[in-house]
Amino acid sequence: MRCSECYEVNPAWQEVCSRCGHSTLPLRFCPNGHLLPPSVTDCPVCPSMWPDSGPFSGPAILRGVLWADAGRIKDEGAETTLPVVELRDFAKPYAFRVEGSDCLRRIHEDPGNAAVQVLVRPEGVFACLGLDYRTQGARLEFAPLGVSGSLRVGPILIRTVLFDVPDWVEEELAEPGR
């Protein structure tokens, strides 16, 4: 990677220029133009419109699947259509943005421009629609998705099927190695 200070060519894995010591990491900005530190996805200056999802750490248990009944879902950076998205317990919500008239794109880096976020926790699966896809004046908050629920995001209809995790799995996770 070329240093932006002295233009020395450095290996791609190197984060600091070997000649001048300047950072070789690419500069990233939020939609409002604020400089983002390395590995930070949410701008610390801009207020987030999304509700707080609260901290979570634990095993990534499969809680269900999500698919586009009317439309397609693609992963960020890929052009192949995903048949389903596995919904697992995860620290951050799954975020999707609308592309075109029939595509939801899963985004990993900046969930601020998402159309919908899906939060998966042991107590259930919840969804929150972005401001552009809600009724005016409605507050942004996560609402539970039913066992066999559907959600319309603009022109795209997404459906979920949630799995009932057996009690013994939850008990084993609460008391590992009983």
* In the chain, where the domains are located: 1-47, 62-162
| Distance, CA of 13 to CA of 154 (rounded, Å) | 40
Give the model confidence (pLDDT) of 94-150 as tens digits: 999 888 888 999 988 767 778 889 988 888 888 888 866 655 445 678 888 876 678
* DSSP secondary structure code for residue 154 in this structure: T
| Distance, CA of 16 to CA of 5 (rounded, Å) | 11
| Distance, CA of 146 to CA of 68 (rounded, Å) | 16
Give the model confidence (pLDDT) of 62-86 as tens digits: 888 999 888 899 988 888 898 999 9
| Distance, CA of 140 to CA of 115 (rounded, Å) | 12
Q: What is the largest CA-CA distance in the chain?
A: 60
Whole-model pTM?
0.65
Where do we find the tokens 């629920």? 149
